[in-house]
Amino acid sequence: MLKDKKIAIVGGGPGGLTLARLLQAGGGNVKVYERDFSQAARVQGAIVDLHFDSGLSVIEAAGLLDAFKANYMTGADKYRLVDPQAQILLDEGNQYGGITFGDKNFRPEIDRGALRDLLIAALEPGTVVWDSQFISMKPVGDSWELEFKNGNKTTADLVIGADGYRSKIRPYLTDTKALYSGATIIQGEIDDPEAACPEIYELVNNANLMAMGSGKTIAVQPRGDGGLTFYAASMYPEHWTSTSGINFNNAGEVYQYLVSFYQDWNPVFYTLFKACTQFTPRPLNYFPLEQRWKTKANITLLGDAAHLMPPNGEGVNLAMLDALELSECLTSAEYPDLHVAVAAYEDKMISRAAALTDETMEGIEDFAAPTDESVQKLIQMLSGSSN
């Protein structure tokens, strides 16, 4: 089906790069168009854990398990759960251990930048076309002509939108909009936490730190470059980020708000807020469970562009699993043409995502506005997952 076909993947995240690797292995003619100016243009964010039956299985299918093992962060898959006074409720690093690759409960963490780098290294030279911010596209016969902000144009017989939750490709398939989950996070980045907030740095201890209580949560993750990413979460009204009166471009103003909001918490968390010089508010949105669009033979979506949901530890894993299933459908002799192959992929992908979105929405308040009961539920879940 792919013979003599030009494939354009818009978006150079884990999903898009994984798809490019898999399609090239099957002889596909693929280009990945990425808006970043270069591979080193920006920090890619916090670490991500890959799961046995999704992300890790895809890495293995792509022939990249050895490269992954050389780059993952040993021990960073553990969780440390504390209460608002920074008292440790659960410390996986001390209580559990001994699992590794091949165990279904092992979820190794890797820096997002390191994951992207190893995927790019596995592609044919020149596969990723940098500085290619997608602007628009138009049909040309059964193909597409894509235009980018830098003035370049290209044609493709098949376009895959792997460009995240603000996808510019998605509107060419569906006008279904995202809904607000009720939760919002305020994200912060700290480049040198050992110096800027040493007590928090020690508390994190290269693990995933969760502080939960009194209807609010703070989550802190290490970055591969030694920095920290944190998320202060709670339930807020829709459009709160624009109606709160907070200037989120003013770090001092956001700091004052967070200190007030967490006023009954241990002041050690205030040092986390103080060490941050740039905050980003992120309302957590999701696509409706019942979403569906009319399949087209020359365009489809994967990852957050297809099935945005609040953070649940599955995002990158789902995008990579989408990539594997799409590549299998596109290269299988089971399907007579691209339309049937794309339809088969979309049926699997949308059904799987709907089930996970439903589950995530049921637990959104447990994450963003926990009660004592939900904290105990999390302790039981983390304890059980490590046995």
116 marked among binding-site residues: no
- Residue 220's beta-bridge partner residues? 209, 230
- Is 77 annotated among the ligand-binding residues? no
> In the structure encoding, which two tokens stand for residue 354, read together?
């709907």
Q: Are 383 and 90 in contact (CB under 8 A)?
A: yes
Angle at 369 between CA 363 and CA 374, to 5 degrees: 55
Residue 203: its H or E element: helix 198-204
d(CA 161, CA 137): 12
Closest C-alpha among 370, 340, 356 to residue 51? 356
Is residue 83 marked as binding?
A: no
Is 352 within any annotated ligand binding site? no
Q: Which of 1, 330, 33 is nearest to 154 (CA)?
A: 33
How many angstroms separate the CA atoms of 153 and 275, rounded? 43
With a CB cutoff of 8 Å and minimum separation 6, the contacts of 354 are: 289, 290, 291, 307
Q: In angstroms, rounded to a whole number, what is the distance separating the alpha carbons of residues 55 and 119?
A: 13
Q: How far is Cα 47 from Cα 189, in angstroms, rounded to an integer?
A: 12
Q: Are 134 and 148 in contact (CB under 8 A)?
A: yes
| DSSP state letter for 246 | -
Rounded CA Rg of the chain: 21
φ, ψ (nearest 5 deg) of residue 283 = -60, 135
What residues contact residue 277 under an 8 Å CB cut-off, 6+ apart?
Answer: 251
- Hey, is 135 helix, strand or coil? strand
Residue 113 phi/psi, 5° resolution? -65, -40
**What residues are designated binding site for FAD?**
49, 112, 304
**What residues are designated binding site for NADPH?**
42
**What residues are designated binding site?**
42, 49, 112, 304
